[in-house]
Amino acid sequence: MQIVVDTPLDRVFDYLWTGVDIPQVGQFAQISFGRRDMVGLIVGVTSESDIAPDKLKPVTDVRTQLAPVSAQWIELCQFAADYYQRPLGEVALPSIPKNCRTTNTVALNKALTKLAILADQKEDPRSAHAAPVLNQAQENAVQKIVKSDSFSAHLLYGVTGSGKTEVYLQAASLLLQQDRHAQVLILVPEINLTPQFHDNLKKRFPALTVATLHSAMSEGERSLNWIAAHTGNARLILGTRLAILASLPHLSLIVIDEEHDPSYKQQEGLRYSARDLAIWRARQLQIPIVLGSATPSLETWQHANSGRYTKLSLPDRAVDDAVLPAIRLIDLSQDKPQEGLTPPLLLALKQRLEKGEQSLVYLNRRGYAPVIACDACGWMSSCSRCSAYLVLHKQEQKLRCHHCSLEMRIPRSCPTCGNKDIQPLGRGTQKIEEHIQHCFPAARLKRIDADSTRLKGSAQDAFGTVHRGEVDILIGTQMVAKGHDFKNLTLVGVVNPDTALFSQDYRAGERLFAQLMQVSGRAGRSAQKDGGNASEVIIQTRYPRHPLYLALKNHDYPGFARTCLDERRQAGLPPFVYQALLRAEARDLRLAIEFLTHAAEFAHQEQIIFHSPIPMSMMKVANSERAQLLIESQSRPALQLFLKAWMSYLRNTRTAVKWSLEVDPAEI
């Protein structure tokens, strides 16, 4: 019997079966692996082995109470393992909830019993909300999606508020009606978007089980939902990126909402792109996939322009009389800010308060201030373990590193010269909140960022207060920028967006445009009032004539994308070249560079370009010093062929350096 386990060893292990009924491929088996008892996945059943029968360890148990995963699911995991250069066991086993692959079967049996009880509790389908009437563009999109009888990739490109979600729901509804076993997978980029989407699904499909999968769930919750999807009991599956590896035996449609979002790329362990795996899975199963966005990734936009994907456009907002917000650029060289906010933005906030409307102030930097400093000697609150500053969190009276989580009490005086006049520099969401409260003491404020939503359920509660109209001014980071439908929000103020304009990351401009377009889309989603343009976006910048801001002001994503793609083509950057990034970290940067230099000495191929090893932009994190080696090719197959041989070579290289490979790196 051939079994894979969650181990860095890239191989299949042979075990002996001594039972009567022969297990099936796709079942989970309990085995003794080294000195531990583990659960592995059966990927082959054979009577032959290179190991003598008396040397084979026996299988301890097989999880017969759980249906085997399909051959297609194993094939998906094998593709991910091959493409991202990881062992199959490291891909397949971690994607299964722990309670389903633990040696203790109590939790698994409990989940199966609970699922059987829930399956008998049918909801009344008559309680479903009637689907709204679609406009012509939405109706055309739905029909093209559901009429696909084989693989087809659709880019649903629509302005914010154009009703992309309604297209997803009505396309799903038609497919679910056509096949009583069909399953629909809907991915969203962030966990805090799942409650709102889950509520929409339950209201529209009250007679169907909706399974939710994301990393913030308890093991019991995740196991129950995973098994519901695996058995076909759940016909609607909602999740973040990890849900793309869920076992779905009757998958008929995949939807990727906000497909451009970088959150779909896993940044540790198996560094996979959920969007790219979703496209491969749709092709494998010969089913349609919908990629929705107001600001598609340049890779997706290029595929749509070349005809590889079908572009479905939603040019108008779905709500009658709802119009896109007017975008106003405030020149910081003329309108001087006080504590980060200019007079025009403060006046606009005051006017919205007087009208009883909601406002959003967006700053993608949490904490009170990014650093504290001493004017006397130039000391700054640097992290002792990272190439970063300790961020001031005033309410907690702490300095905190956002990279390694090191915390310190705020010093009473400069640690270097003893000067007691040390001051915060810059500002984060906490400081903006404090200043707005000072300017508008009667206003009801709510700050939503990673600090204010640490506790489980706190983000959902916070967004609930906004939706119920209990908040006048919302202050937040990118957590508030996506997917939320704030009915009474008519003003968005953007603070300090300029830093991304000069980043060394070539994707920074693309991401900034997407962030600003998304956060701008939170305004004016309801019908305009008093016959005028009721919504407005105010962006404070020192570069009001920058092409990115001018394209944003005109809501011109196609023009912005065209310029970016031309620049990428000339510079030889993705999507016109394929990349992989080898990272190394050690206590000493010299050791990391030496390892990468050694790695680059591997036999080169003509189609592979090696760049020189360099320190990473965030060179030091948690006392480890990091470097990277970039390789490129104009041929994806050539790059994959090279990586397979290269990884085999590196795995056999003895080194104390910790290293990892990322294919299609999200950041360089």
104 confidence band (pLDDT: 50, 70, 90): confident
Same domain, 309 and 334: no
> What one-letter code names the amino acid at 85?
Q
Residue 110 belongs to a domain: no
| Dihedral sign computed on CA atoms, order 558, 561, 565, 571 | positive
532 confidence band (pLDDT: 50, 70, 90): very low
Percent of the chain with pLDDT over 70: 97
Q: Does 374 score more than 90 pLDDT?
A: yes
Same domain, 228 and 306: yes
**Residues of the domain holding 285:** 121-314
Residues 423/383, Cβ–Cβ less than 8 Å: no
240 confidence band (pLDDT: 50, 70, 90): very high
Q: Which residue has the higher pLDDT, 545 or 455?
A: 545
User: What are the distances in angstroms from CA 167 to CA 274, 280, 348, 364?
Assistant: 21, 22, 34, 30
Angle at 117 between CA 112 and CA 120, to 5 degrees: 125
Mean pLDDT of 357-364: 94
pLDDT at res. 49: 85
Same domain, 545 and 657: no
Q: Report the C-alpha gap between 403 and 95 in whole angstroms.
A: 26
| Assigned token pair, 228 | 């519901």
The domain tally of the chain equals 4
The pTM assigned to this predicted structure is 0.93
Point out the domain boundary residue: 564, 588, 607.
Answer: 564
Q: Report the C-alpha gap between 62 and 101 in whole angstroms.
A: 11
CATH number at residue 531: 3.40.50.300
> Of 106-120, 364-378, 398-412, 586-600, where does mean pLDDT reach its minimum?
106-120
Residue 234 three-state SS:
strand
Mean pLDDT of 561-589: 96
Q: Does 128 score more than 90 pLDDT?
A: no
Peptide bond into 575 cis (omega under 30): yes
Q: Report the C-alpha gap between 551 and 547 in whole angstroms.
A: 6
pLDDT at res. 442: 95
pLDDT at res. 527: 54
Residue 456 belongs to a domain: yes
Q: Which of these, 165, 231, 244, 233, lies nearest to 204 by C-alpha position?
A: 165
Mean pLDDT of 43-59: 88
122 confidence band (pLDDT: 50, 70, 90): low
Same domain, 342 and 481: yes
Residue 623 belongs to a domain: yes
Q: Does 107 score more than 70 pLDDT?
A: yes
Q: Report the C-alpha gap between 2 and 318 in whole angstroms.
A: 54
Q: Does 397 score more than 50 pLDDT?
A: yes
Residue 52 three-state SS:
coil
Task: Name the DSSP class of 68.
Answer: P
pLDDT at res. 331: 96
Point out the domain boundary residue: 95, 113, 143.
Answer: 95
pLDDT at res. 151: 96
pLDDT at res. 604: 75
pLDDT at res. 440: 97
- Phi and psi angles of residue 338, each rounded to the nearest 5 degrees, phi first: -115, 120
Same domain, 298 and 153: yes
- Please give the mean pLDDT across all residues of the chain: 92
Q: Report the C-alpha gap between 212 and 205 in whole angstroms.
A: 14
pLDDT at res. 411: 93
Same domain, 654 and 544: no
Q: Does 330 score more than 90 pLDDT?
A: yes
Q: Does 551 score more than 60 pLDDT?
A: yes
Residue 396 belongs to a domain: no
Which of 339-353, 443-457, 471-485: highest mean pLDDT? 339-353
CATH number at residue 619: 3.30.70.600
Residue 86 belongs to a domain: no
Same domain, 614 and 653: yes
531 confidence band (pLDDT: 50, 70, 90): very low
Same domain, 603 and 542: no
Point out the domain boundary residue: 564, 593, 612.
Answer: 564
Same domain, 237 and 132: yes
Q: Report the C-alpha gap between 393 and 452 in whole angstroms.
A: 11
Mean pLDDT of 637-650: 95
Residue 452 belongs to a domain: yes
> Of 33-47, 316-330, 489-503, where does mean pLDDT reach its minimum?
316-330
Q: Report the C-alpha gap between 480 and 486 in whole angstroms.
A: 10
Residue 538 belongs to a domain: yes
Q: Does 599 score more than 70 pLDDT?
A: yes
Same domain, 550 and 591: no
- Name, in order, each residue with C-beta under 8 angstroms of 3's C-beta and a sequence gap of 6 or more: 12, 13, 14, 15, 29, 31, 40, 41, 42, 43, 59
Mean pLDDT of 27-40: 93
| Dihedral sign computed on CA atoms, order 438, 439, 442, 445 | negative
- Residue-wise pLDDT for 462-516, tens only, equals 889 998 999 999 999 988 887 777 888 999 999 999 988 988 889 999 999 999 9
The separation between the first and the last C-alpha atoms of the chain, rounded to the nearest angstrom, is: 42
528 confidence band (pLDDT: 50, 70, 90): low
Same domain, 456 and 361: yes
Mean pLDDT of 141-149: 93
Same domain, 308 and 277: yes
pLDDT at res. 125: 55
Percent of the chain with pLDDT over 90: 76
Residue 196 belongs to a domain: yes
Q: Report the C-alpha gap between 292 and 288 in whole angstroms.
A: 13
> Of 111-115, 431-435, 481-485, 525-529, where does mean pLDDT reach its minimum?
525-529
Q: Does 661 score more than 60 pLDDT?
A: yes
Q: Report the C-alpha gap between 429 and 413 in whole angstroms.
A: 25
Q: Report the C-alpha gap between 247 and 70 in whole angstroms.
A: 8
